[in-house]
Chains A and B, each alone.
Chain A
Amino acid sequence: EDKVVQSPLSLVVHEGDTVTLNCSYEVTNFRSLLWYKQEKKAPTFLFMLTSSGIEKKSGRLSSILDKKELSSILNITATQTGDSAIYLCAVVGGYGNKLVFGAGTILRVKS
């Protein structure tokens, strides 16, 4: 069965801290790994990773995939209260290129 595991499940930090969110997976026919941020409504896309070892960066957020370890990390530096959200990791794979989600990490940034 395809599986995506995220850790930690929740995290509380102070503004300015750096956080690292983890995602590991077991998926047949792996295609890519995606990170999303979800606030009140639907998830918004952050990154899509397909190649191992290549960091993707967008402002204070960055992510990298390790295909050997079947994992990915999402880093957020200099956190702000607006970063408070659920961060979802999803993997494309299986039959029919399904998008399988992890349970998410609830991040709360305190001012």
Chain B
Amino acid sequence: GAVVSQHPSRVICKSGTSVKIECRSLDFQATTMFWYRQFPKQSLMLMATSNEGSKATYEQGVEKDKFLINHASLTLSTLTVTSAHPEDSSFYICSARDIVRGYGYTFGSGTRLTVV
């Protein structure tokens, strides 16, 4: 099946710094990738839809200046949490779909962000 690689798996950063999370589709091209956030014991909340070569589409309530998304190629999308605060600590997951081969949405392994 399709494989999505996400890095880093875990990151600890200081308040006020920025953190970049990468999401790569390894064996397929993804014109669209999705970024989710998950708090403990809660479901995945869609943050934004990342579109290759164009601006991301953000869900209501998600600050686009704080969560910068770049989808520069058909296999790579990045999420940058800018000026991170402790309340940004969460589990961030990306997903993509191999439309050509008709697989369902595949998730990256997730990134546990802790802001201290």
Which chain A residue has the least Cβ–Cβ distance from B112? A41
Contact with B along A73-111 (1 / 0, CB 8 A): 000000000000010101010001111111110100000
Chain A contacts for B32, CB-based, 8 A:
96-97
Q: Is A27 an interface residue (CB 8 A)?
A: no
User: Quick check: B110 and A100 within 8 Å, CB to CB?
Assistant: no
- Asked whether A102 and B106 contact (CB < 8 A) given A42-B93, A97-B32, the answer is no
Over the window 36-58 of chain A, the binary record of Cβ atoms lying under 8 Å from chain B Cβ atoms (1 yes, 0 no) is 10000111110010000000000
Picked from A86, A90, A96, the residue with its CB within 8 Å of the CB of B57 is A96
Contact status A42-B107, CB under 8 Å: yes
Instruction: Report whether B44 and A43 are in contact in the complex, using a CB–CB cutoff of 8 Å.
Output: yes
What number of A-B contacts does a CB cutoff of 8 Å give? 50
CB B68 to nearest CB in A, in angstroms, measures 19
**Is there an interface contact between B43 and A101, defined as CB atoms closer than 8 Å?**
yes
A42-B109, A97-B32 are contacts. A103–B43 as well, Cβ < 8 Å?
A: yes
Q: Check B110 against A41 for contact (C-beta < 8 Å).
A: yes
Contact B42 A43 (CB under 8 A): no
CB-based contact B110/A98 at 8 Å: no
Tell me, yes or no, whether B46 is within 8 Å of chain A by CB.
yes
Contact B46 A43 (CB under 8 A): no
Would A45 and B49 count as touching, CB distance under 8 A? no
* B43 CB contact (under 8 Å) in A34, A48, A98, A102: A102
Kindly state the separation between the CA atoms of A36 and B106 in the bound complex, as whole angstroms.
Answer: 10
A45 touches B104 (CB 8 A): yes
A49 → chain B, closest Cβ, in Å? 10
- Report the separation of the CA atoms of residues A34 and B41 in the bound assembly, to the nearest whole angstrom: 20
Tell me the minimal C-beta distance from B81 to chain A in angstroms: 18
Binding site for A on B (CB under 8 A): 1, 6, 32, 34, 36, 41-46, 49, 57, 93, 95, 104-110
Q: Give the top 4 A-B pairs by smallest Cβ distance, nearest first.
A: A42-B107, A48-B104, A103-B43, A42-B110
Can you list 6 residue pairs at the A/B interface with Cβ under 8 Å? A43-B107, A88-B44, A90-B44, A96-B49, A100-B46, A101-B44
